[in-house]
Structure 1
Amino acid sequence: MTRPGNRVVAGVSGSLGSLTALHRAAAEARATGAALWTVLAWEPPGGNIVHRGGPCPAPMAAWRNMAAERLVEALETAFGAAGPEVPLEPRIVLGKPGTALLMVADHPEDLLVIGAGARGPLRRALWPSVSRYCLARARCPVLAVPRSPLHRTLHAVHRRNTWKLPFRTDELTGRS
């Protein structure tokens, strides 16, 4: 177990933005000699309120296992078999993402690293921002990492695939 203040806490969802933030968190942990705590928040389908009256243990255990698998998959996607090359403490927390992150990053000496999230008024209206929630309420420093420059390119490729448009590799390299 590491001392408080000697850890970097990173929110993980498996999205490209969270993987970018995860890489930055690992770099911060290496630079400071800190442990990397990864947090994946999860809730039962329908939200936690549905299951408060008497959650059935079997489905709750299955959903928790699915969250654990998602965290392992995200860590493997980000770091491969080599891992982050710093002490790693994976956490799966039942709750909303912002609340779960602040529950783990609860010491003033911690560093919370999160993806900056989607931008634009429509996206903010439809999906609450975990990064804004954490920035407003955290008791420790928060590093909001912007999206990877590749995000726009990958989104364009995905859009082409969805609409079954022809794919040209020279678009990825910037040559026409």
Structure 2
Amino acid sequence: MRQRVVVGVSGSPGSLAALHRATAEARERNADLYAVLAWQLPGGGLGGRATYGTAALREYREAAVEELRTILDGAFAVRRPGVALSGLAVRGEPGAVLVEAAESDDALLVVGAGSRGRWLPALRPSVARYCLAHAACPVLAVPPNPLEAELAAVLSNNWNMPPGR
């Protein structure tokens, strides 16, 4: 069995940095690359109170698959990955989905470890922390690009500027 590199993708800048790092790791290891998008139903996780019919579930799954295609097409628009790439859209909590996708000890799990803002940590646990604590394989947590913080600061300052400046 070929070694595999599993990476979580969501379309965020941190997940795109992780995707590109995972691609480089897969090339270096001559491994297959699995890009995994975890999706959930609106209104909550697997145990949400809303009841969805089969047609609605199919629609949400298809939307997740399309989102994954869009993310991968955008990430590799300039340069193809150069490794065997599989995309997986899986319903569930992101951390648990990624740990399960990388369940073999010959895998490498790559996750973005970017900042989630001032309020978000209290609302949603870190996927990277979950993976580091629960994965049976090595986990590579990719830090955010320093340019992200600079761009956020510039955008924040421009947002707070008075009109006409």
TM-score bracket, shorter-length normalisation: 0.7 to 0.9
Amino acid aligned to 2:48: V
Question: Which residue of structure 2 aligns with residue 98 of structure 1?
Answer: 95
Amino acid aligned to 1:84: P
Amino acid aligned to 1:50: G
Partner Cα separation in structure 1 for residue 53 and residue 141 of structure 2? 37
Question: Which residue of structure 2 aligns with residue 50 of structure 1?
Answer: 48
Q: Note the C-alpha offset of 1:153.
A: 2.4
Question: Which residue of structure 2 aligns with residue 22 of structure 1?
Answer: 19
Amino acid aligned to 1:40: L
Question: Which residue of structure 2 aligns with residue 174 of structure 1?
Answer: none
Q: Which has the higher helix share?
A: 1
Q: Note the C-alpha offset of 1:68.
A: 1.1
Change beyond 3 A, Cα 1:74–1:157: farther
2:160 pairs with 1:137: no
Q: Note the C-alpha offset of 1:164.
A: 5.9
Task: Give structure 2 stretches of 5+ with no counterpart.
Answer: none
Q: Note the C-alpha offset of 1:125.
A: 2.1
Of 32, 36, 53, 1:35 maps to 32
Query: What TM-score results when the alignment is normalised by the length of structure 1?
Result: 0.83
Change beyond 3 A, Cα 1:96–1:32: same
Q: Percent identity?
A: 49
Partner Cα separation in structure 2 for residue 158 and residue 65 of structure 1? 33
Moved over 3 A (4+): 119-123, 160-166
Amino acid aligned to 1:49: G
SS of corresponding position for 2:35: strand
Computed over aligned residues only, the root mean square deviation of the Cα atoms, in angstroms, reads 2.4
Partner Cα separation in structure 1 for residue 12 and residue 22 of structure 2? 15
2:84 pairs with 1:87: yes
Question: How many residues of Structure 1 are paired with residues of Structure 2 in the alignment?
Answer: 163
Tell me the alpha carbon deviations over residues 146-170 of structure 1, each in whole angstroms, 9 at most, x when there is no partner.
001221122124324544668x9xx
Of 5, 8, 11, 1:11 maps to 8
SS of corresponding position for 2:42: coil
Task: Give structure 1 stretches of 5+ with no counterpart.
Answer: 169-176
- Select between 70-79 and 103-112 the one with higher mean Cα deviation: 70-79
2:156 pairs with 1:159: yes
SS of corresponding position for 1:100: helix
Q: Note the C-alpha offset of 1:124.
A: 2.6
Partner Cα separation in structure 2 for residue 145 and residue 64 of structure 1? 27
Query: What TM-score results when the alignment is normalised by the length of structure 2?
Result: 0.88
Change beyond 3 A, Cα 1:152–1:130: same
